[in-house]
Amino acid sequence: MERFKNILFASTGGKDDLAALVRANRLAMTNQARITLVRVIEEMPLAAGLFLSKKRLADLQEASLTLAQGELDNLAKKIDPSLKVETKVLVGKPFVELIRAVLAHPYDVIIKPKHPTFKKETLESTDLHLLRKCPCPVWIIKPNQRKPFGKILIAVDPDPSDPERFGLHQDLVKLGTSLAKSENSKVEVVHTWVLDGESMLRSPRFKMTEEEISTLTEEVEKTHQKWLDDMLSPYAESNIKTTMAKGPSGATLVELIEKKKPDIVVMGTVARAGLPGLLIGNTAESVLSQITCSILTLKPRGFKTPVS
């Protein structure tokens, strides 16, 4: 995975850091990359000023910063000594400060542990904000991630009619296969598809027979299969397994992931670069909020974050 030369590791300050740190160290060793360990401390809440003096608030904030720096220094000792390592403690909203760090420096990827939540299958607010708004790839690693990855699943939509989306999914295949090569793991590319307007076509208004709908469905499936084959043609020697599944993209993709149990899912958070209000597709957010494995996400080329 040569594209990742400058890695930002987002520490959460808990024991879940370790599995993600092992992964960041492994990637940095493979690429001889730089790695920066960051911890974001939120400012003391305004309400605390009703009960504590300004000096006491300042002392508490300083103590938090000192503690966080000590924790980062201990993490840095676990990084291979041949690598260049920096540590930074930032103050503010975690997702905002992490994205600002990416904007200020040429970080190629954010790696972080999945933040613990009350429901294991859901993503915490910071993680969702990063998936929606961070311009670089975001890699969220589950705490009990095995090493190395045994199975990588890449979710694609190979429709060539939308160049922006198509470029994103080409990048996903390139990234996922590169990861599989470095991990010596199996890779599977999955694509869900539907017959657009099928329920309407089956209504009395259109008067289509089941045979006609079946024929149309076969034609659509063949078209999607050709799109997928064409997208994967440069990887003919990579022994990639493919799966096509008919059904609504979100629910069908979640079912596939639950059935195939990959170690990591590589997928796009589909958005149009010039529309800050459309930062993550409903399908992507639904899927990412329901799966429990590690995830690696990309934005479309030219994506612009609303964070400044």
> pLDDT tens digit string along 126-141?
888 898 899 999 999 9
pLDDT band at 279 (very low <50, low <70, confident <90, very high): very low
Cα separation, 28 vs 291, in Å, equals 26
What number is the average pLDDT over the span 252-269?
92
When the pLDDT of each residue in the chain is averaged and rounded to a whole number, the result is 87
Report the distance separating Cα 212 and Cα 162, nearest Å: 28
Domain span holding position 81: 1-147
**Final residue of a structural domain among 85, 114, 147:** 147
Residue 14 — pLDDT band, cuts 50, 70, 90?
Answer: confident
- The answer to whether residues 139 and 62 belong to one domain is yes
Q: Please check whether residues 105 and 95 belong to one and the same domain.
A: yes
Is the pLDDT score of 48 beyond 90? no
Same domain, 155 and 229: yes
Give yes or no: residues 96 and 201 share one domain. no
Mean pLDDT of 9-32: 90
Alpha carbons 72 and 136: distance in angstroms, whole number: 23
Least confident of 82-91, 139-148, 173-182: 139-148
Q: How confident is the model at residue 49 (pLDDT cuts 50, 70, 90)?
A: low
Report which of 273, 8, 280 is spatially closest to residue 131, judged by C-alpha positions.
280
Asked whether residue 2 carries a pLDDT value surpassing 80, the answer given is no
In the prediction, which pLDDT does 247 show?
Answer: 93
Q: What is the pLDDT of residue 281?
A: 58
Contact 135, 100 (CB under 8 A): no
Q: Any idea which of 6-10, 41-45, 172-176, 254-258 has the lowest mean pLDDT? A: 41-45
Residues 136 and 152 in one domain: no
- What per-residue confidence (pLDDT) applies to 282? 65
Q: At what angle do helices 163-183 and 210-232 cross, to 10 degrees?
A: 60
> Residue 197: is its pLDDT beyond 70?
yes
Q: Output the pLDDT for position 119.
A: 59
Q: Give start and end residues of each alpha helix (H) in the chain.
A: 17-31, 54-76, 94-104, 125-133, 163-183, 198-201, 210-232, 249-260, 282-290
Domain ends where: 147, 181, 199?
Answer: 147
Does the pLDDT of residue 252 top 80, yes or no? yes
Which helix (H) or strand (E) element contains residue 89? Answer: strand 85-91
Specify whether the CB–CB gap between 27 and 82 falls below 8 A.
no
- pLDDT at 256 exceeding the cut of 70: yes
Q: Which residue has the tokens 């969220």?
A: 140
Residue 278 has pLDDT above 50, yes or no: no
Same domain, 233 and 275: yes
- pLDDT greater than 50 at residue 287: yes
Q: What is the pLDDT of residues 146-173, one digit of tens each?
A: 667 889 999 999 999 988 888 999 999 9
* Of the listed ranges 64-78, 160-174, 258-272, the one predicted with least confidence: 258-272
- Report pLDDT for 5: 92
User: What's the number of domains the chain is made of?
Assistant: 2
169 and 297 share one domain: yes
DSSP structural state of residue 233: G
**Are residues 272 and 153 both part of a single domain?**
yes
CA triple 270-25-294, angle to 5 deg: 35
Same domain, 102 and 158: no
Residues 112 and 183 in one domain: no
Q: What angle do CA 267, 167, 20 make, to 5 degrees?
A: 30
Q: What global pTM score does this model have?
A: 0.89
Residue 77 pLDDT greater than 90, yes or no: yes
Which of these, 159, 151, 124, 118, lies nearest to 138 by C-alpha position?
Answer: 124
Which of 112, 147, 182 terminates a domain? The answer is 147
Identify whether residues 137 and 207 lie together within a single domain: no
Which residues are paired to 110 by β-bridges? 8, 138
Looking at the structure, do residues 15 and 134 belong to the same domain, yes or no? yes
Q: What is the pLDDT of residues 219-244, one digit of tens each?
A: 999 999 999 999 999 998 888 999 99
How far apart CA 80 and CA 77 sit, in angstroms, is 8
- Any idea what the CATH number is for the domain that residue 248 is in? 3.40.50.620
In this predicted structure, what is the pLDDT of residue 275? Answer: 43
- Portion of the chain with pLDDT greater than 90, in percent: 53
Please return the burial class of 10, using the count of CB atoms within 10 Å of its CB with bins 0-12, 13-18 and 19+. Answer: buried
